[in-house]
């Protein structure tokens, strides 16, 4: 080993936890991107003086490592071609649809794969330079599945964990991938491979047995070199107490009242909040709602559906098509069914600060989360955390990871439009007692299993699977 770096904990994720912003005076700076992963990992980073390696977005050549609010960040540069082939191409045009039940058709291109290998190597090399001897490296998500193996070759002293935020598909689908074996071997470089659900971990172990030929027993894989790899579920969560506190604040409470008034004080507010993504089932959900209005089950004078859909991955063709389709659908629905000042659907593309999100959740009588497939879905958990009054109904797809924990939601099959219509009506007409009973049970789950507990349990398990590596990461909840 050449010159080990200084960090005892290294986080490796596709994106850095900050976005480049241009200030009014033309200078540029960084703004914290408030994702769940950042919230989860930041306290562990601080407790262990960690380093975060990731792409800052854009195509700036070679940015120097820097500190932002006490977090040490190491940017990885991508060229314009790599953004197209590694990020938009292999990550979001091949892996994303393949891992989400082939909801859209994955594209397989050899140049995309070559770029994926090249960029994964760059991340692995950077991690190998930053990590101290016997350090812990935690690699995140589908864009970086080759990093564990590449890093282990460079630094066998490290303890390496990997967590996949999206679903891991059944063998029948994964099999399509021309580079299936390389990806499995890439992941096997880790000591612990974490998934959202037990079923995903089982899919992985089964594929390793079938495709790579290693011996396995329950959640363990035995490698010929004597190492063992554990594959296990760690359902991710949110900063539950933080969301509840925000929801209880006066600002949010006031804003929730204001939003309701601005909507014309309807008696029922339905809400959808998603990244604009074809896996989220936005189109079918809005169609189901529109049919209820057209059939007279709901009335635009008394009910409104607020759909917040933040555009994402806008350079990818399928996302452009989806955006146009939903724009057209909303236009048609409101044109056919709305009245002056009373649209059936209030449709917004904005990205909001956490306070506004909490106010929307406070305002929603029925929260509608209907993905065709979703690793977890944090929106569902955020809604529950904000309903400290034990009020509010959640309509949730069976195919979201969150459905495993939030069993008391109105569970729906998002492919079944009539089933969704029935669930929307049941949730909106449910008796107060029933709504409270369900929400109480869901709140217990979400408040007791927060994101700090998630990070701690992953890191504790990682330390347990590879005890021969020295340093242990300090937990968040002491
Ligand atoms: P996503 O597919 O992005 O995450 P999700 O889990 O719902 O999906 O997280 C979205 C996050 O973005 C939430 O925290 C939400 O509050 C926020 N958000 C959404 N719309 C917003 C808006 N308009 N303004 C501001 N914030 C907004 C991936 C996987 C999921 C998995 C997570 C975490 O696809 O299945 O739950 O990672 O592992």
Ligand 1 proximity of 382 Cβ (cutoff 6 Å): yes
pLDDT of residue 139: 98
Distance from C-alpha of 387 to C-alpha of 407, rounded to nearest angstrom: 17
**Considering only CA atoms, which residue is closest to atom 19 of ligand 1?**
274
pLDDT of residue 2: 45
Name the DSSP class of 84: I
51 C-alpha to ligand 1 centroid (Å): 24
Q: Does domain 7-236+452-465 have CATH number 3.40.50.2000?
A: yes
pLDDT of residue 5: 83
Q: What is the CATH T-level fold of the domain 240-447, as seen in this structure? A: Rossmann fold (3.40.50)
471 C-alpha to ligand 1 centroid (Å): 33
Ligand 1 proximity of 357 Cβ (cutoff 6 Å): yes
Atom of ligand 1 nearest to the CA of 165: 38
Domains 7-236+452-465 and 240-447 share a fold: yes
With b meaning 16 or more CB within 10 Å and e meaning fewer, what string describes 24-46? Answer: eeeeeebeeeeebbbbbbbbbbe
The strand pairing partners of 137, in sequence order, are 10, 160
The strand pairing partners of 53, in sequence order, are 12, 74
377 C-alpha to ligand 1 centroid (Å): 6
Write out the chain's pLDDT in tens, 478 residues.
445 788 999 999 999 988 877 788 888 788 877 666 777 788 888 888 899 999 998 887 778 999 988 889 999 999 999 999 999 999 999 999 999 999 999 999 999 999 999 999 999 999 999 999 999 999 999 999 999 999 999 999 999 999 999 999 999 999 999 999 999 999 999 999 999 999 999 999 999 999 999 999 999 999 999 999 999 999 999 999 999 999 999 999 999 999 999 999 999 999 999 999 999 999 999 999 999 999 999 999 999 999 999 988 988 989 999 999 999 999 999 999 999 999 999 999 998 999 999 999 999 999 999 999 999 999 999 999 999 999 999 999 999 999 999 999 999 999 999 999 999 999 999 999 999 999 999 999 999 999 999 999 999 999 998 776 556 666 665 4
pLDDT of residue 326: 97
Residue 244: its H or E element: helix 240-248
Atom of ligand 1 nearest to the CA of 36: 14
Ligand 1 proximity of 221 Cβ (cutoff 6 Å): no
**Considering only CA atoms, which residue is closest to atom 4 of ligand 1?**
377
The HSE-up count of residue 156 (CA atoms within 13 Å, CB side) is: 4
Ligand 1 proximity of 449 Cβ (cutoff 6 Å): no
CA angle 122, 164, 381 (to 5 degrees): 130
310 C-alpha to ligand 1 centroid (Å): 10
pLDDT of residue 1: 42
The token pair that represents 36 in the structure block: 């769940």
Q: For the chain, what are the domain ranges?
A: 7-236+452-465, 240-447
Dmax (CA) of the chain: 72
Residue 306: its H or E element: strand 303-311
Ligand 1 proximity of 165 Cβ (cutoff 6 Å): yes
CB-based contact 229:340 (threshold 8 Å):
no
Read off the pTM: 0.96
Give the torsion sign (CA, 244, 250, 251, 254): positive
CB-based contact 366:355 (threshold 8 Å):
no
């Amino acid at each position: 080993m050449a010159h080990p770096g200084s960090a005892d904990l290294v986080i490796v994720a596709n994106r850095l936890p900050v976005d480049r912003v241009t200030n009014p005076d033309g200078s540029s700076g960084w703004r914290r991107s408030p994702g769940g992963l950042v919230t989860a990992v930041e306290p562990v980073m601080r407790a262990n003086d960690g380093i975060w390696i990731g792409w800052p977005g854009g195509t700036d050549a070679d940015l120097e490592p820097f500190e932002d609010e006490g977090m040490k960040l190491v940017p990885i540069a991508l060229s314009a071609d790599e953004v197209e082939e590694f990020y938009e191409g292999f990550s979001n045009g091949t892996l994303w649809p393949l891992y989400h039940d082939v909801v859209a058709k994955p594209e397989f291109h050899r140049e995309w794969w070559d770029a994926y290998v090249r960029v994964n190597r760059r991340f692995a090399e950077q991690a190998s330079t930053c990590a101290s001897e016997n350090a812990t490296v935690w690699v995140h998500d589908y864009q970086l599945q080759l990093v564990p193996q590449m890093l282990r070759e460079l630094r066998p002293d490290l303890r390496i964990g990997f967590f996949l935020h999206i679903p891991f598909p059944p063998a029948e689908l994964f099999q399509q991938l021309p580079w299936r074996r390389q990806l499995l071997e890439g992941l096997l470089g880790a000591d612990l491979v974490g998934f959202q659900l037990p079923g995903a971990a089982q899919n992985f172990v089964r594929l390793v047995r079938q495709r790579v030929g290693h011996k396995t027993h329950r959640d363990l894989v035995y490698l010929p070199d004597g190492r063992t790899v554990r594959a296990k579920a760690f359902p991710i969560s949110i900063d539950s107490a933080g969301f509840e506190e925000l929801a209880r604040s006066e600002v949010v409470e006031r804003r929730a009242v204001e939003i309701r008034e601005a909507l014309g004080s309807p008696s029922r507010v339905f809400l959808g909040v998603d990244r604009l993504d074809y896996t989220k089932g936005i189109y079918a959900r809005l169609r189901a709602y529109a049919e209820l209005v057209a059939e007279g089950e709901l009335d635009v004078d008394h009910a409104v559906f607020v759909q917040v859909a933040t555009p994402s991955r806008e350079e990818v063709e399928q996302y452009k098509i989806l955006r146009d389709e939903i724009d057209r659908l909303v236009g048609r629905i409101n044109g056919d069914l709305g009245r002056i000042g009373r649209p059936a659907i209030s449709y917004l593309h904005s990205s909001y600060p956490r306070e506004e999100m909490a106010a929307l959740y406070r305002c929603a009588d029925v929260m509608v989360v209907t993905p065709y497939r979703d690793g977890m879905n944090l929106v569902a958990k955020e809604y529950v955390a904000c309903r400290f009054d034990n009020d509010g109904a959640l309509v949730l797809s069976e195919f979201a990871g969150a459905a495993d924990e939030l069993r008391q939601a109105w569970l729906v099959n998002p492919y079944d439009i009539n089933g969704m219509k029935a669930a929307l009506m049941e949730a909106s007409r449910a008796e107060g007692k029933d709504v409270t009973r369900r929400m109480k049970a869901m709140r217990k789950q979400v408040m007791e299993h927060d994101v700090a507990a998630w990070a701690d349990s992953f890191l504790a398990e990682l330390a347990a699977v590879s005890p021969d590596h020295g340093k242990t990461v300090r937990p968040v909840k002491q």
